[in-house]
Every structure is written in structure tokens, then in C-alpha cells.
């Protein structure tokens, strides 16, 4: 009886507040969750492209595996201090990865995830086999540039070199140069750099009179097939690479292209504290939508030196996150209504928090990170890795751990919390899949 009364009294008392976790403790928790997710991949999807955490089954993008998760995760495992797991991944890649496959792959995705992962893996481990694989992959991807304009086709068959897909977009055309350029420098084959750079130049040349690009173009005719301009999916990383490649390769043409582009974007797409959509030729506003893919933009603004706009936009993105307690894919920022309720474990908002913490030393970005991590843990964690959400409103889960979750989402979260010497920010440039590349030439 006395025990029962004591329990009742204890239940009525407010819980003693737990002290919030320190940055070091948060970094350690991200590391532990990364390890658990990797272990789930090992247990249920080893040797395959991706893990489906709910059904505990593997997924291969093209029927045959290209080891997308191991290649995408290798540098994360190294940077987070998981050497045994990294070594196992490296050995799997060394022994099993082959591109001699009769499959038609998406050039953009394979470039940013696989070519980028092999290059950063090579630079971090010194394993020549990884560079050899990157060179072999690069050679097999090169036919994409054989269009009448030089802008890449969407798909290429790794064995036959047959290309397909004429309707592409600035992101897929303009997000190849960090990887192809690095490959060029490391193999001393200028062709890779020249082809990928020409593709960006061809795209840039087709910008409108007010300096904007739209989100679909035919790579054979060079004609735009859309008028929509924004900084979201299908355009996003085109801007990211203009800036990063200008600096990484010390390329004056790209620097000028970046300066002209950011001027036009700020002039026609900035909409109060958000960035929306406009007609690329007239600048007329068309949509007030912002989403999880747009959320990379504060990072790029900060890197370009505009921390004021970057901080303001990150504040907006954080509001988007808070509407349902985790980030929707698309939000109408005028009404704050959710337009697309999915959350595919995207990293961009975390990436921007990391860049802003680096550039402004602002503690508020670590606090944002705490909110992101708590929500991921609460809503996306399963007993076999993390999974995407069908709806941030109902929190209903879907069944996929995309390879970028370990490549990007967990890496940027860790780096946001970890001490600066975990990775010296200025010693690398991250490709759009968060693979850190070093200028070793």
C-alpha cells in the first residue's frame, strides 16, 4: 500500500528535466544510429543496392546490383570512425563491383552516387582499385555527351553505350563536373573535364534574356520544353556546381557564370524570406512553393558569401520542418499548406544547417540539428534501419532506406554536431551527394 501511494505521488510530480545532450553526445548518437542502419543493410541487403527496412528485403535499381549503398556509404563509415565496417565495404567493392553489365542507367544518379563515392573513397583510402573502377565507369558513361548539343542524354547502357532520354534538365546536365573533373585530374585524361564542362556551358548559353533557366530541355534540339524556373528539384544542384566547380577547379568561366546566375536568381526567384517559382523568360511569378530539395540553397548562398540571405532562408526552411514536426516534400509558403506530404529522408536542410554553423558559428544551427535528429528518430526509425515516410501528417512509413541517407543525411548530421577537426571544412568540396573531394593535384 505504502509503495502504491509512493508511486502515485511520484507520478504526480513533474519529471526531473534531463539535461540536453551535449554536441559530443549528439555526434556519438548519430554515429551509433549510423552503425545500426549499416548493420541492418549488412544483415538484410548485403551486396544489393538498397535496403527496404520494413520488409527487410533488398532492392536493386537495375535488376543487377551496382553496390550503390556500399559505395555511397564508404566515406561516411570512414569519417564517422567505423573502420571495421568501412574495410568490409571497401573489400566488397574491390571484389564484387563490375560495370560490365547490359543495363541502361541514369547518368546523373550514377555519377553523383557511384562515381562520386568511388573518387572520395579512393582519396580517403588510397586504394587504386577504386580509382580504376571510377575510370572504367567514367569511360562507360561518356557516350551520354554524344548528343547534337553536347548536353548529356539521361540514360546510357553500361555495356553497349546506347543512350536514351532526350528530355533532361539543368540539374542532370550541370551536376557532373565535380566528378568528371576530379576524375580527369586524377587520371590525367582531359576529355572527362572537357565533356562535362561543355555540357554546362551549352546549358548556360541557352539561359533566357533575364538570366534564368527552366526545368526541362531537349538535349538534341536544345529547345526548352518547360518555362518553370526555381531552385528546386531538376535545377537545384546546377547552381551548386557552378559555384563549387568555379572554386575547386579555379575555373574563371564558371565563376562568371555563377555570378551572373545568382544575380538573376536573387532578382526573380527570391520571394520575401523564401525562393519561389517564376516564368524563366518574363520573370512573372507562377508558384509559391518551396520543398525539401530547395532546402540545399542556404548552403550555397552561405558558401557564395551571402550569409544574410542564407540565414533568412534557413529560418524559413525550419518553419517548413515545423509545420508537421518533420519536413514535407513540398509546401505552399503563402498558405503554409502541405502540397506533397512525403519525407524521403532527405538531407538538404541538414546540409544547410551544417554550412551555416560553419560560416556563422551560430549555436542555433546545432539546436536545429537536434530537432531534425529527434524527429528522424521518432518517426523514421525501424528495427532495421531508417525508412522514408508516406506522409509527414499521418507519419505512415514507406519501405526504403535510400543510399543518400547514409551518404548524406547521417554524414551532415554528424558533421553538424562533431568538433571541427572531424573534417576540416575548407580542405574539401562536397559533391551533391556529400562525397568530400580533395584537390590533390
Active site residues: 109, 236, 329, 348
- What are the angstrom distances between the C-alpha of 64 and each of 105, 255, 313, 411? 11, 40, 41, 27
Rounded to a whole number of angstroms, the minimum distance from the CB of residue 192 to ligand DMJ is 20
Alpha helices in 97-142 (DSSP H): 107-110, 116-125, 128-141
Which is closer to ligand DMJ, CB of 52 or CB of 346?
346
Rounded to a whole number of angstroms, the minimum distance from the CB of residue 282 to ligand DMJ is 28
Q: Does 405 bind ligand DMJ (CB under 6 A)?
A: no
Which is closer to ligand DMJ, CB of 130 or CB of 178?
178
Which is closer to ligand DMJ, CB of 111 or CB of 163?
111
Phi/psi at 290 (nearest 5 deg)? Answer: -140, 145
Which is closer to ligand DMJ, CB of 137 or CB of 283?
137
Q: Does 59 bind ligand DMJ (CB under 6 A)?
A: no
Q: Can you point out the beta strands (E) in 22-89?
A: 50-52, 57-59
Residue 153 CA to residue 165 CA, distance in Å, equals: 5
Rounded to a whole number of angstroms, the minimum distance from the CB of residue 346 to ligand DMJ is 4
Which is closer to ligand DMJ, CB of 277 or CB of 348?
348
Rounded to a whole number of angstroms, the minimum distance from the CB of residue 2 to ligand DMJ is 57
Helix 363-380 to helix 307-324 angle, to the nearest 10 degrees? 30
Q: Does 61 bind ligand DMJ (CB under 6 A)?
A: no
Interior angle at CA 425, CA 423 and CA 428, nearest 5: 90
Pick one of 69, 76, 307, 432: the residue that binds ligand DMJ (CB under 6 A): 432
Helix 68-79 to helix 83-96 angle, to the nearest 10 degrees? 150
Please report where in the chains the cell 571484389 appears, as a residue.
95
Residue 355 CA to residue 303 CA, distance in Å, equals: 8
Contacts with 350 (C-beta within 8 Å, 6 or more apart), sequence order: 369, 372, 409, 412, 413, 416
Q: Does 433 bind ligand DMJ (CB under 6 A)?
A: yes
Q: Does 111 bind ligand DMJ (CB under 6 A)?
A: no
x-or-dash string of contact with ligand DMJ, 223-242, rule CB under 6 A:
--------------x-----
Rounded to a whole number of angstroms, the minimum distance from the CB of residue 363 to ligand DMJ is 26
Q: Does 404 bind ligand DMJ (CB under 6 A)?
A: yes
Which is closer to ligand DMJ, CB of 78 or CB of 171?
171
Q: Does 346 bind ligand DMJ (CB under 6 A)?
A: yes
Rounded to a whole number of angstroms, the minimum distance from the CB of residue 233 to ligand DMJ is 7
| Closest of 331, 324, 327, 378 to residue 350, by C-alpha | 327
Q: Provide the binding-site residues for ligand DMJ, judged by CB under 6 A.
A: 112, 237, 346-348, 404, 408, 432-433
Amino acid at each position: 500500500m505504502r509503495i502504491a501511494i509512493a508511486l502515485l505521488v511520484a507520478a504526480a510530480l513533474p519529471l526531473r528535466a534531463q539535461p540536453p545532450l551535449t554536441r559530443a553526445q549528439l555526434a556519438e548518437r548519430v554515429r551509433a544510429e549510423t552503425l545500426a542502419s549499416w548493420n541492418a543493410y549488412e544483415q538484410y541487403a548485403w551486396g544489393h543496392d538498397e535496403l527496404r527496412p520494413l520488409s527487410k528485403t533488398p532492392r536493386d535499381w537495375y535488376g543487377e546490383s551496382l553496390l550503390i549503398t556500399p559505395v555511397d556509404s564508404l566515406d561516411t563509415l570512414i569519417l564517422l570512425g567505423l573502420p571495421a565496417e568501412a574495410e568490409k565495404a571497401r573489400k566488397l567493392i574491390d571484389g564484387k563491383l563490375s560495370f560490365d553489365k547490359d543495363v541502361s542507367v541514369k547518368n546523373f544518379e550514377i555519377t553523383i552516387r557511384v562515381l562520386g563515392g568511388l573518387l572520395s573513397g579512393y582519396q580517403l583510402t588510397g586504394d587504386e582499385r577504386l580509382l580504376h573502377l571510377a575510370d572504367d565507369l567514367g569511360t562507360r558513361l561518356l557516350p551520354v555527351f554524344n548528343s547534337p548539343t553536347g548536353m548529356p542524354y539521361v540514360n546510357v547502357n553500361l555495356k553497349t553505350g546506347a543512350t536514351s532520354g532526350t528530355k533532361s534538365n539543368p540539374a542532370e546536365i550541370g551536376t557532373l563536373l565535380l566528378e568528371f573533373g576530379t576524375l580527369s585530374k586524377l587520371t590525367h585524361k582531359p576529355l572527362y573535364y572537357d565533356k562535362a564542362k561543355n555540357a554546362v556551358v551549352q546549358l548556360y548559353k541557352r539561359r533566357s534574356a533575364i538570366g534564368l533557366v527552366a526545368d526541362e530541355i531537349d538535349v538534341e534540339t536544345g529547345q526548352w520544353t518547360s518555362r518553370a524556373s526555381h531552385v528546386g528539384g531538376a535545377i537545384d544542384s546546377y547552381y551548386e556546381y557552378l559555384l563549387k566547380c568555379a572554386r575547386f577547379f579555379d575555373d574563371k568561366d564558371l565563376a562568371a557564370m555563377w555570378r551572373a546566375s545568382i544575380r538573376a536568381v536573387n532578382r526573380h526567384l527570391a520571394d520575401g524570406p523564401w525562393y519561389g517559382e517564376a516564368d524563366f523568360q518574363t520573370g512573372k511569378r507562377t508558384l509559391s512553393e518551396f520543398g525539401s530539395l530547395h532546402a540545399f540553397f542556404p548552403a550555397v548562398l552561405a558558401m557564395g558569401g551571402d550569409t544574410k540571405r542564407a540565414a533568412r532562408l534557413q529560418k524559413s526552411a525550419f518553419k517548413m520542418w515545423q509545420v508537421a514536426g518533420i519536413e514535407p516534400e513540398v509546401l505552399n509558403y503563402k498558405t503554409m499548406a502541405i502540397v506533397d506530404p512525403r519525407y524521403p529522408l532527405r538531407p538538404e536542410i541538414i546540409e544547410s544547417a551544417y554550412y551555416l554553423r560553419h560560416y556563422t558559428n551560430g549555436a542555433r544551427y546545432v539546436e536545429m540539428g537536434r530537432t531534425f535528429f529527434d524527429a528522424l528518430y521518432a518517426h523514421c526509425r525501424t528495427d532495421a534501419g531508417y525508412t522514408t515516410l508516406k506522409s509527414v501528417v499521418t507519419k505512415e512509413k514507406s519501405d526504403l532506406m535510400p543510399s543518400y541517407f547514409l551518404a548524406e543525411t547521417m554524414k551532415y548530421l554528424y558533421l553538424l554536431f562533431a568538433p571541427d577537426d572531424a573534417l576540416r571544412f575548407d580542405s574539401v568540396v562536397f559533391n551533391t551527394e556529400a562525397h568530400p573531394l580533395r584537390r590533390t593535384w
